[in-house]
Amino acid sequence: MIYCGIDWAEKTHDVALVDDTGQLLAKRHITDDPAGYRILLDLLAEYGDTEETPIPVAIETSRGLLVAVLRTGKRRVFAINPMAAARYRDRHSVSGKKSDPGDALVLANVLRTDMHAHRPLPDDSGLARAIAVLARAQQDATWNRQQMSNQLRSLLREYYPAALDAFAVWANGLCRPEARELLKLAPTPAKAARLTRAQITAALKRSGRQRGIEADTERLREALRRNWARHLPVVEDALGKQMLALLGQLEAACTAADDLAKAVEEAFPQHPDADILLSFPGLGVQLGARVLAEIGDDHTRFADARGLKAYAGSSPITRASGKKSSVTRRRVKNDRLNHAGYLWAFAALTASPGAKVHYRRRRDKHGDWHASALRNLFNRMVGQMYHCLQHGQRYDEALAFPSPSEGLEPAAA
C-alpha cells in the first residue's frame, strides 16, 4: 500500500510517497499549473496508481484545482486540518523544526497510521457541488450586505438621524431599495429638508413601489424635515460624500445577494434531495440549499445520525476528567451548517406545532435558555432529516413529533 501526502501552497506544492513501513519512496516539488499536475499524476502512476486501485492522498485543503484533479475517478482524498497535521508533526520531533517537504511526509504518514480515523472528501454529485458554491456565495453576500448596512447605519447616526428615523418602519431599513433611492437623492439633512412631495414620490416609484406611495410620501417628508442637531455645512457635505461611497458598496452587496439568491432558486429544486428537504417545516429554498451545501448528497458520508449531529454542532459534548464532568455545546463544528440550523429551528417554531411544543418543553421543564432550546430542537430535526434522506421519505409531522397519548417516538429522533 502506498500513501501520498501533499503540502499545499499558493504557487508550488511538495509531494511525498511512503509505503506501509513508513519508508520514503519519492518526493517532488511541483508547480500549481497543468504541467505540475501532470508530473504529480505521472509520479502516482509510476508507483502503482490505477483507476481501480488509486493511491489515497492527504492534503491540507478541500478546495482548488489541484483537489479537483485529484478527485477524478475513485481516488480518496483526505482533507487534513492543519492543526491536526501540526499535532502529528510533534509526535516525531520535539525540536519544533518545520519544512514543506517534511510536512508532505507527515501528511503521508497520517494516512499510513490513522487513515481509519479521518474522513475522505464526500463523493458528491456535480449538481450538489454547484449548489454548494452558490449557497455559500449567497450566504457570504448576505453577511457582507449586513456588514455594509451596519457601517452605513453607524455613519448616519453621526450626522443624519432623520434618515434612520424615517426608514425605521421598514424591515431591513437601509437595505430596502426605497431607502437607497432617497439617500442618493438627499445625502445630507439640508438636502433632505428641501425635498418636495414630487421628488419623494418619484424616488419611491423608481425603487419599485406600487402601493401606499402617497401615505409614505407624507410620512417621509415630515420625518426628514424634523428638527435635529446639525454639523457645520462643510462638515455635513463631507459626511454626505462618505455616505454615498458606503451606499455604493451597499448597493453592490444587495445586488450580489439578490442575484445569487435567484441562482440558488434555479439550481436547488433540480436536485433529487430538494423535495425531501423542502418538506421539513422552516426550510425554504435558501436555507434548504445551505443545508444541502454542507451535508452534500453522498448518503454514505455519515455512518449514522450521531455523526451528522456532531458535524452540525447540534449534539452536546461531554468533557470528563477524574471526578469532574461537564456537558457543553460543541465549538468545533461546521459553522455554516450550524448557523443555518439555528435559523431553521427558529423558523420551525411557527411552521410546526410539534417543534413549538418541543421548544417550550425545553424552556419550561429543562430550564434551557433560548439558544440552548433551539440547538436541542435542531439536534432532533437533524436526526429526522438523516432518516428521511437515507430512506427517501418526506417529513411527517405525526411521526416526527407524536402526541403523548400515542406513546410513540419518531424513528430518527
With bands split at pLDDT 50, 70 and 90, how would you rate the model's confidence at 325? Answer: confident
Single out the residue of 282, 260, 271, 247 nearest to residue 176, CA to CA: 247
Q: What is the DSSP letter of 301?
A: S
Q: What is the DSSP string of 14-55?
A: EEEEE-TT--EEEEEEEESSHHHHHHHHHHHHHTT--SSSPP
Question: Which residue shows C-alpha cell 436526526?
Answer: 383
The pTM of this model reads: 0.85
Cα 360 to the center of its chain, rounded Å = 28
Domain positions in the chain: 3-121, 130-266, 275-406
Mean pLDDT of the chain: 91
H helices of 160-224, where? 161-167, 177-185, 189-193, 197-206, 213-224
Q: What is the DSSP letter of 228?
A: -
pLDDT of 63 higher than 90: no
Q: Note the pLDDT tens digit of each residue in 83-122.
A: 888 888 877 776 677 788 888 999 999 999 989 888 899 9
Which strands make up the sheet holding 24-31, listed edge to edge? 24-31, 12-18, 3-7, 57-59, 77-79
With bands split at pLDDT 50, 70 and 90, how would you rate the model's confidence at 72? Answer: confident
From CA 271, how far away is CA 274, in angstroms rounded? 5
Q: What is the DSSP letter of 119?
A: P
H helices of 268-319, where? 274-278, 285-295, 305-312
Measured CA angle at 148 (ends 135, 285), to 5 deg: 25
Q: Which CATH superfamily is domain 3-121 in?
A: Ribonuclease H-like superfamily/Ribonuclease H (3.30.420.10)
**Phi, psi of 73, rounded to the nearest 5 degrees:** 80, -150
**Phi, psi of 7, rounded to the nearest 5 degrees:** -85, 110
Q: Note the pLDDT tens digit of each residue in 268-305.
A: 999 999 999 999 999 999 999 999 999 999 999 998 99
Single out the residue of 238, 227, 233, 214 nearest to residue 165, CA to CA: 227
Of the chain, the percentage scoring pLDDT greater than 90 comes to: 74
Q: Which grid coordinates belong to 145?
A: 450586505
Per the CB < 8 A criterion, the answer to whether 108 and 4 are in contact is yes
Task: Please compute the mean of the pLDDT values over residues 151-172 and round it to a whole number.
Answer: 92
Q: What is the DSSP string of 358-413?
A: HHHHHHHTS---HHHHHHHHHHHHHHHHHHHHHHT----HHHHS--GGGT---TT-
From CA 372, how far away is CA 356, in angstroms rounded? 14
Q: Note the pLDDT tens digit of each residue in 123-137.
A: 899 999 999 999 999
| pLDDT at site 409 | 46
3-class secondary-structure state, position 61: coil
From CA 118, how far away is CA 165, in angstroms rounded? 54
| pLDDT at site 196 | 93
Query: Based on the number of CB atoms within 10 Å of its own CB, is 115 exposed (0-12), middle (13-18) or buried (19 or more)?
Result: middle
| pLDDT at site 405 | 55
